[in-house]
Chain A
């Protein structure tokens, strides 16, 4: 029973994965961090534009949500980067 445990742990270390899967998994946190940076701005601008159109408050919600989106994007990005730096 005790001898059967180690192979399972070896199998879960990702050694059987193809090179593409390994590289994608390694890049995923960085891609996700960059998407937070860009996506924050995108969601802020589009959300503000849509709300402005709906509520007729142009251009205030567009300006406000854009700024908020950019800030949140930067915050999420830097937080993720700090976390990734710590992991290394």
Chain B
């Protein structure tokens, strides 16, 4: 632990030093906020900041566009339309960006780590080794404390694979963002929105599975007369969207804010313009860095917990409908409980 702390401290000082030495040679160096915002933003350019040298640009990857996408005249000249009008014109920008690369890296690391750690000696009952025990602890925690406590004993184990995937993927992305030269993919609104969208679809599927399509659609109408559906259906749909929206903003804001605080503490050295400031700001930044390490786990935990809670509420809504005469669907759920539960155990 002490070695790791010394290593992280060295990396911070090296990064700060690199930023300082990189900035001296240029006449029009960017201001600290510009520099920070550039670093937390998603770009097509993957920069490697090497201590004592200028940043290495891995080169921009040209945008991939689908459809005709005719350029239009803007204030900055002839450009491809962006945003919703761009999408309508067929300009779906599927460029590979810094955060996309980080997501791939997180996914690869996740698959590798889990494969290695879960590959235990099947002939022995008790798994051995730090990795296997760590994975077992986390998987059991998510199954017993999140899935079963929020969704229920019967339906909970069915959603454990999704919850595990979400937890570990977010955790790996959060932790990769804390490695020097890497970027935080979860500090990107598009990434967190995508993750929340996955939870949204799983939640709706859980609701449909539990209540049946008829019960689910009936719930969407808010139980009012059909002439009032034109108002009530949008209201209910907005209500459904509000939960994944909260998930999106929470993860995004927490990850982004932590990194900005971290950057600004280091940036104080350059704002105040004296190397002695480093004596204060670097230890502070290091403390925030340790806090961020904790936040990486907490945010992955919170996202998974809330996903489980939302799935549980959707399942409960279905059970409520069952009370009014959809007992067949309920019975169907019972019959599939056994294998799903066993699968969770085998995986653990």
Contacts and interface: CB of A to CB of B under 8 A. Distances in A.
Given A36-B222, A43-B234, A72 B228 contact: yes
Given A25-B312, A72-B228, A79-B223, A43 B235 contact: yes
Contact of B232 (A8, A24, A40): A40
Interface in B221-264: 222-224, 228, 231-232, 234-236, 238-239, 242
A79 B231 contact: no
A21 B239 contact: no
Given A14-B152, A18-B150, A47 B234 contact: yes
Interface residues of A, number: 30
A43 B239 CA distance: 11
Contacts of A39: 234-236, 238-239
B150 A17 contact: yes
B308 to A, nearest CB: 8
A16 interface: yes
B312 A16 contact: no
A68 to B, nearest CB: 6
B253 to A, nearest CB: 22
B149 A44 contact: no
Nearest to B308: A21
B332 interface: no
Given A69-B231, A72-B231, A75-B228, A18 B313 contact: no
B334 interface: yes
A18 B308 CA distance: 11
A65 to B, nearest CB: 8
A17 B148 CA distance: 7
B347 interface: no
A75 B232 CA distance: 10
Contacts of A73: 231, 235
Interface in B148-162: 148-154
Interface of chain A: mostly helix, strand, loop or mixed:
helix
Contacts of B14: none
Query: On chain B, which size bracket covers the interface?
Result: 20 to 34
B336 to A, nearest CB: 13
Contacts, number: 82
B309 interface: yes
A75 B235 CA distance: 13
Contact of B313 (A25, A43, A68): A25
B334 A18 contact: no
Given A76-B224, A80-B223, A17 B149 contact: yes
Contacts of A20: 150, 309
B268 interface: no
B149 A21 contact: yes
Contacts of A32: 239
Interface string A22-48: 001100100010011001101110010
A20 B235 CA distance: 26
Contacts of A76: 222-224, 228, 232, 235
A35 B232 CA distance: 11
A11 interface: yes
20 contacts: A8-B334, A14-B152, A16-B148, A16-B149, A17-B152, A18-B145, A21-B151, A25-B312, A28-B317, A32-B239, A39-B234, A39-B238, A43-B234, A43-B235, A47-B231, A69-B231, A72-B231, A73-B231, A73-B235, A76-B228
User: Lowest 9 A-B CB distances belong to which pairs?
Assistant: A18-B149, A39-B235, A72-B231, A21-B150, A11-B153, A43-B234, A35-B239, A16-B153, A72-B228
Interface of A: 8, 11-12, 14, 16-18, 20-21, 24-25, 28, 32, 35-36, 39-40, 42-44, 47, 68-69, 72-73, 75-76, 79-80, 83
